Structure 1
């Protein structure tokens, strides 16, 4: 019997939806920035109507836009984002900006709890020629980070915090960026569905008060930082006092940087006092 395709050769191909029509679909699904999202989906689909339909359906079902199109903008770069990996937040660009302002001549950079590797990639791209290392405990994050970090000459390691890093980095790290999970365990259920349902819990859950991982990082950071090296960790307003205490208890000079516009808060620990 002759093979017959599902669609007759004479059947018309589906039409590419207009931007306005796609935006209306997205807006009906609750997308606040529907027009911008429509533009991103149309660009990612590259003229394929079936791809547009599939991506619009995934977005309408609640999948984060970045996972729908496969990338997130961060630090002026397109960062590859894969399913099951934490989506980098634009507010975390403030951490990158602080690191660059404080250590513009950094030569060794570590991105702990790296997720997609967005922070490390942004730092390496701005600094140029650095010895970049990123690490995460989650295999999915490590696979994704390699796509963003290795093209910049960086290295990605899998393991629990500092245990993942090469021993040769001890005492040599100029910038230690750690975007640790800091949502208290009993507040995970209160997160927006995009994060709660589509991002790994290990990237969100910071323990009882949200500071468990931060304390672990702070306690071991001095052994890895170079003289005047900086530890930078994003935190929340109500966790700031505890975060600063953790840095001070570890023997670091602790400071707070705040950006009200994004909003973002970063605690900064310096080995050897203020720079």
Structure 2
């Protein structure tokens, strides 16, 4: 900030005062001061307020410049005294304190559903020396070897004939309330029947026999089995909102509608617990 002050001519009867020993005179002498003030204000990081207070006493004029910085709340003053015919130039340097700025970043919390949990039933790939803990009904299940299996070295074979045209292999599993599940198994069938007209064995018709995936008290899905003697994956996805079950039967069942010579093969059984699902409120 720059303040420039120019004092004009002051007319005094100095000669009379010296000659007459400053005796009283009928006329009064008036001191006249002419002021020109120029103010430049520059603000870099905040606002400044300038106040000029002028006081005149006799032949001496006192000017007080007050600079107030709004950001730092610091007040500085400069006093200028001038008498006679002096011209004074005063430079006032004002320092501006920058107010520190703080930035607050909001942190976001994201909640995700539990990751998928593959709950393959024990010995779900049938690679153990025995079928335990699997149990069979309607036939006596056995372990099949290598080339007959979907993967690795062993799988389960449910050979015919079946009692009541059905056979299944089961074990106990736990089901928790409020989750989506996918129950899957790889199955293939070998099936022929004797055609009396042709007097020969023919392949069973496609999708006449069924594979049924069942979790007792939870879900059941029945799907037709192809006739091509190839492995196919069959699956059932469901949402369970009932009470949690500590132990219930998980079964793969072959249902025979056609065939005189047949077997079902089962391999790579899995039970995958997926995303959580809403549980209805009790009424």
Pick the TM interval, shorter chain. under 0.3
| Higher RCO (C-alpha under 8 Å, 6+ residues apart) | 2
Specify which structure has the higher proportion of helix.
Answer: 1
Q: When the two structures are superposed, what TM-score results if normalisation uses the length of structure 1?
A: 0.22
Pair member with larger Rg = 2
